[in-house]
């Protein structure tokens, strides 16, 4: 046998599928959830799940039993609207604060709202609206609405362009932006546009289309987001103070009818760390940072609605070096994914009979 053939045979095992990329085992914790939108963990391991029609559930992760939480605000449940994200305060064990975002009616239409209340058993008490992303718009789409705390304790909130793309370049308009607050809803004095008369103080970054994923990097403490493109051009970005992320003057996406919308690169505009073209319709995102599964450590997981899978992205710093599609054969619309305190990945599916799933190494 030739040396070349021996070398090829020696190399073949390296080409075989690696255990680190194996599909996970899937357990249904609870089902019959009506279009769930978000999930969040409490310090005791219980799970909070929102349904767009305006319900908030408290789920026992061991049994799947759930209790409805009262005190939720009235929502505008039409098309993409309704009760959206949920997030526990980093110090929830001490203060019991729970944050919600929702589509709510207001003058001239509706808007993405932010509020918080204290969770006492089966009820939110002292619930207050902290912010309304104005101006109100007569639209039923692109609410954005993901929440994340960075390492410094600032609360970030994403807001979509409401289907009116030029709003994302208008600093006098909250829509199409990432907003930044203190945990009580106050606007930080060092937000980038606080001293600019024709800009909204809450805006941290702008030029975003419809960001429906947000998570905090476990090492850097910075918030990462992803956002929907129109037909291609879904993006992963790291919001930066005062920066323009391009929509709609820079995008890899195309009009639904066909032509290009704008150049892929524009001077002075921040390009994406990663983009999906064609679109996967990303929703929900989390980093894996747990000792339970070392082969998943440092990976970024993203739900996909249109392409119906869970994307596993392996990173080298801020660069995506490989991507794997999990659960594709299940044909589930993955709406949200979170790392649980048990080291499992927890996922919700966006269907009229949606599921809360627990994913572990097979």
Q: Catalytic amino acids? A: 142
Determine whether 249 is exposed, middle or buried from the number of CB atoms within 10 Å of its CB (0-12, 13-18, 19+). middle
Residue 298 contacts residue 288 (beta carbons within 8 Å): yes
E strand or H helix at 214, and its extent? strand 211-216
CA 346 from centre of chain: 14
Sign of CA dihedral 192, 193, 194, 195: positive
Residue 257, both tokens? 């009818």
Nearest to 355 by CA among 47, 121, 123, 45: 47
Closest to 74 in 3D by CA, of 48, 49, 98, 100: 100
What CA–CA distance (Å, rounded) separates 117 from 327? Answer: 35
Q: How far is CA 349 from CA 76, 94, 181, 337, in A?
A: 21, 31, 30, 9
Tokens read off for 231: 């037909």
Which of 157, 59, 78, 150 has its CA nearest to residue 113?
Answer: 157
Q: Which H helix or E strand runs over 15?
A: helix 3-15
């Amino acid at each position: 046998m030739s040396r070349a053939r021996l070398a090829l045979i020696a190399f073949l095992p390296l080409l075989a599928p690696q255990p680190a990329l194996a599909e996970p085992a899937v357990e249904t914790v609870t089902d019959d959830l009506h279009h769930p939108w978000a999930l969040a963990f409490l310090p005791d391991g219980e799970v909070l799940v929102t349904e767009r029609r305006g319900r908030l559930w408290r789920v026992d992760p061991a049994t799947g039993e759930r209790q409805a939480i009262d005190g939720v605000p009235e929502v505008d449940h039409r098309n993409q609207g309704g009760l959206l994200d949920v997030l526990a305060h980093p110090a929830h064990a001490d203060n019991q604060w729970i944050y919600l975002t929702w589509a709510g009616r207001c003058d001239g239409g509706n808007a993405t709202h932010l509020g918080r209340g204290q969770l006492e058993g089966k009820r939110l008490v002292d619930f207050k609206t902290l912010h309304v992303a104005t101006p109100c718009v007569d639209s039923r789409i692109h609410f954005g609405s993901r929440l994340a705390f960075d390492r410094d304790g600032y609360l970030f909130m994403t807001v979509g362009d409401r289907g009116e793309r030029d709003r994302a370049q208008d600093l006098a308009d909250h829509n199409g932006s990432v907003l930044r607050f203190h945990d009580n809803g106050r606007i930080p004095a060092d937000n980038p546009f606080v001293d600019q008369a024709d800009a909204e103080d809450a805006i941290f970054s702008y030029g975003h289309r419809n960001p429906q994923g947000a998570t905090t990097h476990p090492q850097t403490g910075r918030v990462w987001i992803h956002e929907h493109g129109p037909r291609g051009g879904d993006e992963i970005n790291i919001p930066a103070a005062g920066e323009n992320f391009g929509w709609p003057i820079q995008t890899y996406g195309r009009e639904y009818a066909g032509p290009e919308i704008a150049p892929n690169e524009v001077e002075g505009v921040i390009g994406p760390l990663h983009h999906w073209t064609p679109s996967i319709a990303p929703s929900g995102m989390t980093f894996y940072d747990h000792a339970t599964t070392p082969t998943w450590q440092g990976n970024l997981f993203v739900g996909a609605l249109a392409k119906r899978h869970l994307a596993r992205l392996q990173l080298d710093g801020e660069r995506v070096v490989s991507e794997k599609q999990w659960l594709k054969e299940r044909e589930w619309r993955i709406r949200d994914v979170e790392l649980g305190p048990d080291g499992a990945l927890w996922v919700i599916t966006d269907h009229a009979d949606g599921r809360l799933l627990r994913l572990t190494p097979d």
